[in-house]
């Protein structure tokens, strides 16, 4: 594959991602993608076997991006800073590939492999959230039983997975950073009641930033 071919391939992926995010994958046709990329429909099929191939390719990029984040190099106990960073990174990647979350059942319904891989990502989300919470407990910032940690970790994963979809249902046209900020705030609000005195007010101040 020459440099030119690689560049065309890249442009197809870029416009596909943009259109998918904007309209939802089911409503975007291959002709539309070709048109927007300024190539012919036939040329598109030279670079990709079919539409699912494009989706698959985009998913793989998403997957490697998010796995980078979910690899927690926990050499020390986590603090609230880790939590904050973790949430921001997660939300940013989800935003970048939001079409995957928008029509999740539809996309995964036609590909078992994809389903498995996505499931593994969610499992990791829960595990990472739990690890951070345990870190908070062991460093004394937070007080919670193992069952409580598990329940909160699952809720964090669910919120981080479904927040954008839910939010866009409620307030379609809100600006990006506000939506992501609200998401982080909502997730943090899950943790707040388990924090101890001083840390609780610290977080309280931090989270207020997002409610502008």
Q: Which of 16, 17, 20, 47 binds DNA (CB under 7 A)?
A: 47
Q: Which of 131, 194, 199, 203 binds a copy of itself (CB under 8 A)?
A: 194
Contact segment (CB under 8 A) with a copy of itself among 12-20, 53-61, 97-105, 128-136 equals 97-105
Taking the least distance from each CB to DNA, the nearer of 42 and 175 is 42
Residue 198 near residue 142, CB atoms below 8 Å: no
Spatial distance between the Cα atoms of 65 and 142, rounded to a whole number of angstroms: 30
| Under rule CB under 8 A, residue 136 binds a copy of itself | no
Taking the least distance from each CB to DNA, the nearer of 5 and 151 is 5
Q: Which of 5, 119, 196, 201 binds a copy of itself (CB under 8 A)?
A: 119
CA–CA distance from 34 to each of 11, 98, 115 (Å)? 10, 21, 27
Q: Which of 18, 69, 77, 122 binds a copy of itself (CB under 8 A)?
A: 122
Q: Which of 57, 104, 127, 206 binds a copy of itself (CB under 8 A)?
A: 104
| Under rule CB under 8 A, residue 113 binds a copy of itself | no
| Under rule CB under 8 A, residue 206 binds a copy of itself | no
CB of 21 to a copy of itself, least distance (A): 12
Helix/strand/coil (H/E/C) assignment for every residue in the chain: CCHHHHHHHHHHHHHHHHHHHHHCHHHCCHHHHHHHHCCCHHHHHHHCCCHHHHHHHHHHHHHHHHHHHHCCCCCCCCCHHHHHHHHHHHHHHHHHCHHHHHCHHHHHHCCHHHHHHHHHHHHHHHHHHHHHHHHHHHCCCECCCHHHHHHHHHHHHHHHHHHHHHHHHHCCCCCHHHHHHHHHHHHHHHHHHHECHHHHHHHHHHHHHHHC
- What residue ranges bind a copy of itself (CB under 8 A)? 24, 26-27, 102-106, 108-109, 115, 118-119, 122-123, 148, 151-152, 154-155, 158-159, 161-163, 165-166, 168-170, 185-186, 189-190, 192-194
- What residue ranges bind DNA (CB under 7 A)? 1-2, 4-5, 8, 28-31, 38-43, 45-47, 49-52
């Amino acid at each position: 594959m020459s440099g030119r071919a690689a560049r065309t391939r890249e442009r197809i992926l870029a416009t596909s991602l943009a259109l998918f995010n904007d309209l939802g994958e089911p409503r975007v046709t291959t002709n539309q993608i070709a048109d927007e990329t300024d190539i012919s429909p036939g040329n598109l099929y030279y670079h990709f076997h079919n539409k699912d191939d494009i989706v698959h390719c985009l998913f793989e990029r998403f997957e490697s991006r998010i796995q980078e984040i979910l690899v927690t190099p926990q050499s020390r106990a986590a603090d609230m800073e880790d939590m904050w960073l973790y949430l921001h990174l997660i939300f940013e990647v989800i935003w970048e590939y939001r079409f995957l979350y928008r029509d999740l059942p539809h996309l995964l319904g036609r590909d078992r492999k994809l389903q498995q891989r996505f499931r593994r990502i969610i499992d990791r989300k829960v595990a990472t959230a739990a690890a951070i919470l345990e870190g908070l407990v062991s460093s004394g910032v937070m007080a919670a039983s193992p069952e409580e940690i598990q329940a909160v970790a699952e809720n964090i994963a669910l919120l981080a997975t479904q927040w954008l979809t839910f939010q866009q249902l409620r307030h379609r046209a809100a600006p990006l950073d506000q939506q992501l900020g609200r998401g982080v705030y909502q997730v943090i609000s899950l943790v707040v009641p388990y924090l101890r005195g001083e840390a609780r007010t610290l977080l309280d101040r931090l989270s207020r930033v997002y409610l502008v």
